[in-house]
């Protein structure tokens, strides 16, 4: 009775959108993986376009695709608990086990592979969804909107506090990560970690990962990242309850409105946020408040616009959108693969291209790699039920063995015959 979703039960549109979200996350992660966030841009091919490339990434991609993926995480939570309850399982207990398993995977990822992990954050924040299982839709929406407004309120209070009790009222502070061309140098203890990424051995990389993992937690707190993630979780939970992805045709007018409003509101406001960012953390002041407000408005607006637009494309050009679905079905495996390949290409323990390739060329390389990943994912899923990481995640969640490859496995046949 407690088994993962079978292939026939999946919503292809969710897999396709998830696949596009994985692409957006890969492209923005290249900024850090390539070293552009930490060292001066190299005088390499394409470097003359790097400033414009980074601005476009900041404007259209940074934060938006993590928000989109957070939204899909909330939708997945809704689908997960509905199907678990229908099979007689305890949704809350099963979901907690799922999050604990994700925490383990995220810890291994951020410590031993790459420091830019998001899985651990999702797992920890995900526990906040459980109390909303029995909350009304109105309560879920109110909390979601509150989470988006919270960064603005907190930052405004910080501005008032600085004005009343003294201190700087404008400017920017050094960031843990940001484009090296615009941001001040990282602190000495973090510079050593950066050097280990560029030239160190594996033990040095692990030490650097630990340092940057802690620094990223602090950075995300300052950037009010966590409330936005939880707000998107809740919004996804609400949409999942309404089964909007299962009834796209019936919700087409809403999708069109969401796309139009999201782009009209999100694009200009995100442009302002990207213009003010300059790769550093905002400090209490007018400029910082405008930047924080711009991000709190534009990130969810554009994430929802992207989701709505992809749903409309799925209805019109389903074969094209379906090409992204295999990567979406293997989203966890795909994400972890990006880190393994990225560190292998850029870090000193691999090809050693850290800080030696322009951001523009790195982004083009990421796009090419993603196309290859689309082909490999389709081939893999023609013979397997899950991606390797998804398979491990499911076994940790359900505490039982599942067949990875397609075939005459008795347990697999039993699960399919019983709608598991």
The pLDDT tens digits of the residues spanning 26-69 come to 999 999 999 999 988 887 888 999 999 999 999 999 999 999 99
**Residues in the chain with pLDDT values less than 70:** 1-10, 167-185, 278-281, 408-420
Q: How far apart are CA 264 and CA 266, in angstroms?
A: 6
The pair of structure tokens assigned to 373 is 């990943």
Structure confidence at residue 185 (pLDDT): 55
Give the separation between CA 290 and CA 213, rounded to whole angstroms. 28
| Separation of alpha carbons 51 and 33, rounded Å | 17
Q: Which tokens in the block code for residue 285?
A: 């002041």
| Strand pairing class (281-282; 172-173) | antiparallel
Query: How high is the pLDDT of residue 407?
Result: 73
pLDDT score at 10: 56
Whole-number pLDDT of residue 40 = 84
Torsion of CA 27, 54, 308, 148, to 10 degrees: 110
- Please tell me the distance from the alpha carbon of residue 140 to that of residue 129, in angstroms, as a whole number: 10
Tokens encoding 190 = 């973090």
**What are the tokens at 272?**
């302002």
CB neighbour class for 271 (10 Å; exposed up to 12, middle 13-18, buried from 19) = middle
Rounded Cα–Cα distance for residues 270 and 386 (Å)? 36
What is the radius of gyration, based on Cα positions, of the chain? 21
Question: Which pTM was predicted?
Answer: 0.89
Residue reference for tokens 């404008």: 170
As a whole number of angstroms, the distance between CA 342 and CA 34 comes to: 8
- Tokens 């596009």, residue? 20
Cross-strand pairs, 173: 281
d(CA 293, CA 272): 10
Cβ distance 111 to 213 under 8 Å? yes
| Helix/strand/coil for 282 | strand
């Amino acid at each position: 009775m407690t088994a993962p979703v079978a292939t026939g039960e999946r919503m292809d549109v969710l897999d396709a959108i998830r696949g596009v979200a994985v692409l957006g996350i890969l492209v923005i992660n290249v900024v850090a993986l390539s070293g552009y966030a930490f060292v001066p841009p190299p005088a390499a091919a394409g470097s003359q376009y790097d400033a414009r490339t980074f601005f476009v990434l900041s404007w259209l991609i940074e934060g938006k695709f993590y928000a989109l993926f957070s939204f899909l995480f909330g939708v997945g939570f809704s689908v997960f608990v509905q199907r678990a309850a229908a099979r007689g399982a305890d949704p809350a207990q099963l979901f907690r086990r799922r999050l604990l398993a994700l925490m383990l995977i995220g810890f291994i990822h951020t410590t031993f592979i790459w420091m830019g992990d998001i899985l651990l954050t999702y797992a920890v924040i995900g526990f906040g969804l459980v109390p909303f299982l029995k909350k009304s839709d109105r309560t879920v929406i109110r909390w979601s909107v509150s989470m988006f407004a919270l960064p603005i309120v907190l930052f405004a209070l910080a501005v008032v506090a600085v004005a009343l009790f003294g201190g700087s009222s404008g400017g920017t502070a050094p960031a843990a990560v940001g484009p090296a061309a615009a941001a001040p140098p990282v602190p000495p203890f973090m510079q050593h970690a950066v050097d280990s990424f560029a030239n160190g051995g594996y033990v040095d990389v692990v030490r650097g990962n630990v340092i940057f993992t802690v620094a990223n937690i602090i950075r995300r707190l300052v950037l009010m990242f966590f409330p936005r993630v939880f707000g998107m979780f809740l919004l996804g939970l609400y949409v999942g309850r309404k089964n909007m992805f299962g009834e796209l045709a019936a919700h087409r007018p809403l999708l069109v409105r969401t796309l139009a409003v999201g782009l009209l509101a999100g694009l200009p406001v995100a442009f302002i946020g990207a213009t003010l960012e300059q790769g550093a953390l905002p400090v209490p002041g007018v400029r910082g408040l405008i930047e924080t407000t711009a991000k709190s408005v534009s990130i969810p607006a554009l994430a929802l616009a992207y989701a709505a637009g992809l749903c409309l494309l799925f209805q019109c050009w389903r074969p094209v959108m379906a090409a992204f679905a295999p990567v979406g079905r293997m989203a966890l495996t795909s994400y972890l693969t990006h880190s393994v390949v990225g560190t292998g290409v850029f870090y000193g323990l691999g090809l050693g291209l850290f800080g030696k390739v322009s951001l523009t060329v790195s982004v083009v390389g990421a796009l090419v790699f993603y196309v290859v990943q689309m082909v490999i994912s389709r081939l893999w899923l023609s013979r397997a039920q899950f991606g390797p990481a998804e398979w491990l995640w499911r076994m940790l969640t359900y505490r039982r063995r599942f067949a990875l490859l397609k075939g005459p496995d008795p347990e697999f046949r039993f699960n399919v015959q019983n709608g598991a």
